[in-house]
Amino acid sequence: MKVLIVFAHPEPKSFNGAMFQTAIATLKAAGHDVQYSDLYAMKFDPVSDRRNFISTKDSEYFKQQMEELYATEMGSFAPEIETEMQKLEWCDLMIWQFPLWWFSVPAILKGWVDRVFAMGRAYDREHIYETGRFRGKQAMLSLTVGGSKEAYLDGGFNGDISAILRPIQRGMLQFTGFDVLAPYIVYAPVRQTDAVRQSILDDFSQRLQTITSELPIAVGQY
């Protein structure tokens, strides 16, 4: 299986960093082909504008979707965007590793989506959801949150985590055709002992060893 891991955390020594490295090592040991995008290490620019393209259709007025369609036709995406698009098209499974910030993904990861999930290349009017361009591929969110599990239950302090993740899983991943696997969520890793954190990494590794046998979830139900 071909796996793309997109990592979005500014500190490689963080628990997210440990999960990222665990995923790479586990998946490679299991015989899978692995590519990754370490967005902070790459200094990936999340700002989406004319720099997405090496040529544009309209030099006077910028309409991103129109320019994305033009770039798809002409092969004129900027090299750094084309590279990420090719990783996306290459993979069978995509894993996003990130901390939940303000009930969403970090800005650098959202900007990656803004620039890489281009109209014409990742989706169009005829290719969304069940007819999405990435149908047959799978995606999984792997994330940490600052609060306890109880805080993210239905009726909890922060609300149901499935509802929080729905805009990401439904609006980004399923929208472009991905089948979504159950997220791997780590609650308050900073409050855990080293032994507990290691047990979490071990559990994460065990899950990844059998990831090929998993079935997609109905978003919001897991």
Chain CA centroid to CA 103, Å: 15
* Side-chain-facing half-sphere of 126: CA atoms under 13 Å: 1
Mean pLDDT of 203-213: 97
Residue 13: exposure state from Cβ atoms within 10 A (0-12, 13-18, ≥19): exposed
Confidence of residue 171 (pLDDT cuts 50, 70, 90): very high
18 pLDDT higher than 90: yes
Give pTM, 2 decimals.
0.95
CA distances from 13 to 2, 9, 19 (A): 26, 10, 10
Extract the tokens encoding 180: 């979504």
Q: Per residue in 116-163, pLDDT tens? A: 999 999 999 999 999 999 999 999 999 999 988 999 888 888 889 999
128-131 long-range CB contacts below 8 Å, 24 or more apart?
Answer: 128/175, 128/176, 128/177, 129/174, 129/175, 129/177, 130/177, 131/177
Confidence of residue 75 (pLDDT cuts 50, 70, 90): very high
**How far is Cα 209 from Cα 212, in angstroms, rounded to an integer?**
8
100 pLDDT higher than 90: yes
Confidence of residue 99 (pLDDT cuts 50, 70, 90): very high
The confidence score (pLDDT) of residue 222 equals 44
Q: Per residue in 36-72, pLDDT tens? A: 999 999 999 999 999 999 999 999 999 999 999 999 9
188 pLDDT higher than 60: yes
Q: Per residue in 136-148, pLDDT tens? A: 999 999 999 998 8
Chain CA centroid to CA 174, Å: 12
220 pLDDT higher than 80: no
**Domain annotation for the chain: domains and CATH numbers:** 2-213 (3.40.50.360)
186 pLDDT higher than 90: yes
